[in-house]
A and B are shown apart, each in its own frame.
Chain A
Amino acid sequence: MPLVLKKKVAVLCGHCEIEEAESLFNWLQEASGRSLNLKELTSAHTAIYQVILGLQPTISIMPEDTSLFWFKELLTHDSKEVWL
């Protein structure tokens, strides 16, 4: 399962398809203080990125995958500017 919704943390791993976007969005909306564990995320559809960047939840663990370097940059920098 690429998306596992726990009590306080949602764990995203592997590749997340657009289908997960809605459940992730609703889950994040349901209660405040929920956070994301992106440790094992390798790639995702734009809709997923849009939800994460648009709702700005707390990220408990940043993605480890080096190919998501740019996404980490987007999450940490308010300028939303990334240099590869």
Chain B
Amino acid sequence: MSELLDVFINESRENLESASRGLLTIHSSSSHNGIIDGIFRDIHTIKGSSDLFDIKPLTALAHAAEDLLDCLRASEVVYTEEIGDLLLEVLDQISSWFDELELGTENMNEWRPVSVKLSDSLRAFISANNAKGTSDEEAPHPDSLTSVNVIGNTTSESSSAGPFNSTIGTFTSKFSSSSAITLLAKTQSENLYFIDYQPDHDCFFRGEDPFNVLITMPGLLGFKAAVPLLTSESDIYQSALSFIAIGEADISEIDSHMAYYEGQYHVSHISRCELALSFAAEIRDAVEKLANESLLIAIEDGELEQIQSIAEILQTSGNHDPITNAVLCYLAKGNEYPANSPQAHMQDSLKLESNQLTDNKHVKSVSLYEVELLQQQRKLLDAEYYNRELMLPSLANLTQQLLSRFAIECDLTCEESIRNAIDRALSVASTALENSQPENDSNSINVDSHNRHASSISPSEEMAKSERHVVKMLKVDQEKIDYLMDIVGELAVAKNSLPYLAKQAEEEGGSKVLSKQIKSHFSIVNRLTESLQSAVLQIRMVPVSHVFERYPRLVRDLARKLNKKIELVMSGEDTEFDKNLIESLSEPLIHLLRNSIDHGIELPDLRIQQGKAEKGRIDLIATPLDDSVVIEIRDDGKGIDPEKLKILAFQKGIITEHQLETINDEDALQLIFAPGFSTNEEVSDLSGRGVGMDAVRTMVNQAGGKIEMSSKLGIGTTFKLLLPQTMSVNHVMMFEVADQMFGVSMDAVVETVKVHRSEVQRIRNQNVLVIRDKLIPLCELRSALGFENIENGEECSILIVSSPTGEHGLVIDKFHEGIDVIQKPLEGVLSGYSHFSGTALLGDGRVMLIVNIQEILACH
């Protein structure tokens, strides 16, 4: 519910904004054709959606505003400045109510007078301009209020599980008359659900298959489908079906089954006990109508077995109407005849009681049944298998109903017996609750300390609020999450041992069955590990604003120091990112921002001379892109001159004279990332020590990302960082060279090919391969990694990888599958070998080295 409210508030805020923009436009320009239409639609949307929530004053106010706008639209009322001001005031009021709703501090009693006052002023304009329409216009106002009331009532009714609740009503009205008894005969479970599933018309296009969703629903007992007749014009790719179904399962199970079809269904709980209560009379009627003597005698004697066998015989003999059939089925299943149960007495007497309230004697007898009934409920509460929480609301409702009925005519003893019974039942209930959910208590204590001022709120509301509060406030030490992540990572690696085991079972144990079983278990473990992993990753995700929010201050301070005027515009701050990664990013981003402020944005005077705005602008934009995030830093400063860069690079010995002549502008710009490069003639304390960009690139690369730069002289510079959203688990492709396992990051792999040795050609002392008219230089990994180079076999396996210098082919011995590993950096003696970027542990305990393609190709 809170999620829905959040969505409503966010969407409505947009509507409010566009409405107030519209009003301001009318203010500044004389014509308002079309603009009023837009404002009307915005307000109409807010009004419509607000109906979903219990915020009547807001709905009423929006309605009044809508009425006035409708009159303006129809030119019945002439737009004046006052109307504009009033409408703006209304928008402000609604917006401040949204603030309260978000904080959970809304108070309808305070809202109501404000709403009435503003609505009256709005309507005053309508009536002033349209005297005869006044009564017509006033009419919808109270109407809308009552309609909201009705909506409010029905929702509250359906959410409570009262004895004669509306879910049962909906169920019995939608299914055929015998269905409830059929259902009672079918199940003994108390935990029933009723679902109304209305697939969207275009659900087929999303790959949904409603009938199969319905049929596979957990614990499904029965359903009813509405299938419209098709004509030749019908679109068969549009679903026109709708279903209602009933079954035995927890609501949560249904919710998870229907997780992909949110918004297309509504599920509610039905209590079998209540259903039995509601239909006791029908069962008895049917039995009486049947008028079978032996059955009636058996019922009178209360002999269950006898009833059962007679019902069975009756069922097979003769044609009965559906209700009788269902009742016979119900009895044949060994269900108790309702007259024998106190609940049925209850039901019966309630009916009588409503007719003859004045009959004191009868009321007394009812009170006895009441005690019996409550005792029955107590028995249920005592039973361990019984879902106590589900029982409580119905109990409360029942007793309340009875009390209110008897309040008129009860004598003292009767009332007392009711009270005693309730007390007994409730004391049992409360102990049951305490036992089953001790955390509820701690919650309410928290609430007390949090909301001491809001004493008017009922405990249940407080409970709900505190839940919301706790969920939002959950803070966990990051170390714990990291530890969890480590374990999950280990688990991901450990699960990789299962395929090895399967292979071993098949090869050494000779058992294909065992191997198959291991494999099927592997797929389960694999799926679970993956979902666990993504769940943990989700926890670690934080919005990029965590880092971004430090920057406005930084920019302001630096700009002041340099006498520049700079505006930092940030967008996409809510893009989510792995916490560790984001921390590692903080430094490079500061570097880049400093560069933009120091080198990019010009002094205000210079900017004015160049016809630019006095205030420089730096954009910091984060956008999600598939599995990665793009962070852009864009300034509208002076840009970078590639010519200048080239000459500086030449002077510093970074490029040769030959390169100086041949290098193009695009490549020249990338020289800025070369080690030991700084363009600013004077070294400032902000940036410009010539380590900046090199360091930035290294840091970004370490985080598994890429950095790109583009710049236009006089227009500005843009740095683009492409970063993976998470870096904890790597997907690598395994291959074998000289009987040793190696890995290479799957991202780099372009394709794998097997070619005949004769296809490898030699051009300028270099082995090359031509694939699809493309020349691919080859690198013998055996020699590159220092193994003996033996040419074995006719075929050679070539792994084609992409690197910054283009595509290359690595000649290896054998391909293996791709796996998920946790890459560990090289430590100790190995740390000096740049040929490898890290190690990983394989499922069978072997260590795999992960090759650093760039480095190997460079050495080659």
Contacts and interface: CB of A to CB of B under 8 A. Distances in A.
A55 B230 contact: yes
Interface stretch (B175-183, B541-549, B842-850): B175-183
A25 B241 contact: no
A84 B222 contact: yes
A21 B237 contact: yes
Interface string A55-84: 110000000000000100010000111111
Given A21-B236, A51-B236, A46 B241 contact: yes
B236 A22 contact: yes
A49 B211 contact: yes
B179, B199, B223, B236: most-surrounded residue (chain A CB, <10 A): B236
Nearest to A43: B212
Nearest to A55: B230
B437 interface: no
A81 B176 contact: yes
B208 to A, nearest CB: 8
Interface residues of A, number: 24
A33 interface: no
A53 B236 contact: no
Contact of B222 (A25, A46, A82): A82
Interface in B201-250: 204, 208-212, 215, 220-230, 232, 234, 236-237, 239-241
A68 B309 CA distance: 31
Contacts of B227: 50, 53-54, 74, 80
B186 interface: yes
Given A21-B236, A45-B209, A54-B234, A83 B182 contact: yes
A50 B236 contact: yes
A21 to B, nearest CB: 5
Contacts of B208: 46
Interface in A2-54: 18, 21-22, 25, 29, 43, 45-47, 49-51, 53-54
Given A21-B236, A25-B230, A54-B230, A80 B209 contact: no
Contact of B232 (A22, A29, A46, A82): A29
A80 B226 contact: yes
Contacts of B240: 50, 54
Contacts of B210: 46
Contacts of A22: 236-237
Contacts of B211: 46, 49
A81 B222 CA distance: 7
Contacts of B230: 25, 50-51, 54-55
A43 B230 CA distance: 21
Contacts, number: 74
B223 to A, nearest CB: 6
Contacts of A21: 236-237
Contact of A84 (B220, B226, B232, B236): B220
Given A54-B227, A70-B215, A81 B175 contact: yes
A3 B663 CA distance: 64
Contact of B239 (A29, A46, A55, A80): A46
Nearest to A49: B211
B209 A46 contact: yes
A51 B204 CA distance: 13
A56 B230 CA distance: 9
Contacts of A83: 179, 182, 186, 221-222
Contact of A80 (B186, B225, B237): B225
Contacts of B234: 54
Contacts of A50: 227, 230, 236, 239-241
A31 B215 CA distance: 32
A8 to B, nearest CB: 20
A22, A83, A84: most-surrounded residue (chain B CB, <10 A): A83
A82 B224 contact: yes
Interface in B398-445: none
A80 B228 CA distance: 11
A81 B199 CA distance: 18
A9 B766 CA distance: 68
Contacts of A55: 229-230
B265 to A, nearest CB: 15
B217 to A, nearest CB: 10
Nearest to A24: B236
Nearest to B329: A83
Contact of B223 (A53, A54, A82): A82
A54 B229 contact: yes
Interface string B497-524: 0000000000000000000000000000
A49 B220 CA distance: 19
Contacts of B209: 45-46
B246 to A, nearest CB: 9
Nearest to B174: A81
A25 B236 contact: yes
A81 B237 contact: no
B485 to A, nearest CB: 41
B188 to A, nearest CB: 16
Nearest to A56: B229
A27 to B, nearest CB: 12
Contacts of A46: 199, 204, 208-212, 239, 241
Contact of B179 (A53, A80, A81, A84): A81
B228 A74 contact: no
A80 B223 CA distance: 8
B171 to A, nearest CB: 12
A54 B209 CA distance: 16
A79 B176 contact: yes
Nearest to B221: A84
A76 B488 CA distance: 53
A47 B208 CA distance: 10
Contacts of B215: 70
Contacts of B229: 54-56
A48 B43 CA distance: 43
26 contacts: A21-B236, A29-B232, A45-B209, A45-B212, A46-B199, A46-B204, A46-B208, A46-B209, A46-B210, A46-B211, A46-B212, A46-B239, A47-B204, A47-B236, A50-B239, A53-B225, A55-B229, A70-B223, A79-B224, A80-B224, A81-B175, A81-B176, A81-B222, A82-B225, A83-B179, A84-B220
Given A50-B236, A54-B227, 16 more contacts: A46-B208, A46-B210, A46-B211, A46-B212, A47-B204, A47-B239, A50-B240, A53-B225, A54-B240, A70-B215, A70-B223, A74-B227, A80-B224, A80-B226, A81-B176, A84-B222
Interface of B: 175-176, 179, 182, 186, 199, 204, 208-212, 215, 220-230, 232, 234, 236-237, 239-241
For the complex of A and B, list the 3 residue pairs with the smallest distance between their C-beta atoms, beginning with the closest.
A54-B230, A83-B222, A53-B227
